Amino acid sequence: MASPTWSWQEVGFRKKPKRRASRPGERLFRAWGGESSTMRGRPNSVGVCFSSVAPKSRWDAERLFAVFEYGNPCTHVTEFVVPENTMMWEGEVDPGDARVVLGMSYGPQIFIENPLAQSLIPCQTTRLPDDLGHHRLHWHQGRDA
C-alpha cells in the first residue's frame, strides 16, 4: 500500500489516510473563505483538502472539518467534479481539540495533491449561512484547510 510523502498529521488527518482513485462522476466539496483559504486552495502547497460531505452552515463546516483553528472561516462551499481516476487520500478529520474526549463527531476528509487538485472542475459555490453570529476567529498557520 502506498504511503503519503507528506505529513498526514499536518494536513489534518486523524490517522494515516488510504489512497484511492476517483470514481466516474465523483463530486467533492470544499469549505473555504476569508484571506487564508481560497476556493481552489494554494497551488504552491502540497495539496488541497476536500470532503465527500457538503456542510449546511459555518458551524456545520467546523463540526465536520475542524478548520477554524487553521484560519478557514468557512464562509462558502464549492462543489467540484473530479476527473475520473484522480488519485486522492481519504480518511477521518483530526478534530484537533477536546471534541474527541467529549464524543463529538467529525467528518471525512479527502486530500488531493497538487497539481492534480487544481484540475478539479468547480460547478457550484454557495455562501454558507452564518450561524456563528459573526464571531471573529483566531488561528495559527498550518494546513491549507
pLDDT in tens, 75-126: 999 999 999 999 999 999 987 765 555 556 678 999 999 999 999 999 999 9
Residue 7 located in a structural domain: no
Say which amino acid occupies 79: E
How far apart CA 66 and CA 48 sit, in angstroms, is: 15
Residues 6 or more apart whose Cβ sits within 8 Å of residue 5: none
Better-predicted residue by pLDDT, 36 or 30: 30
What is the pTM for the complete model shown? 0.85
Residue 97, pLDDT score: 62
Residue 3 located in a structural domain: no
Chain centre to alpha carbon of residue 120: 14
If one counts the domains in the chain, the total is: 1
Q: Name the pLDDT band for 37 (thresholds 50, 70, 90).
A: confident
Residue 112 located in a structural domain: yes
Residue 9's alpha-carbon distances to 14, 74, 137, 142, in angstroms, are: 7, 21, 22, 11
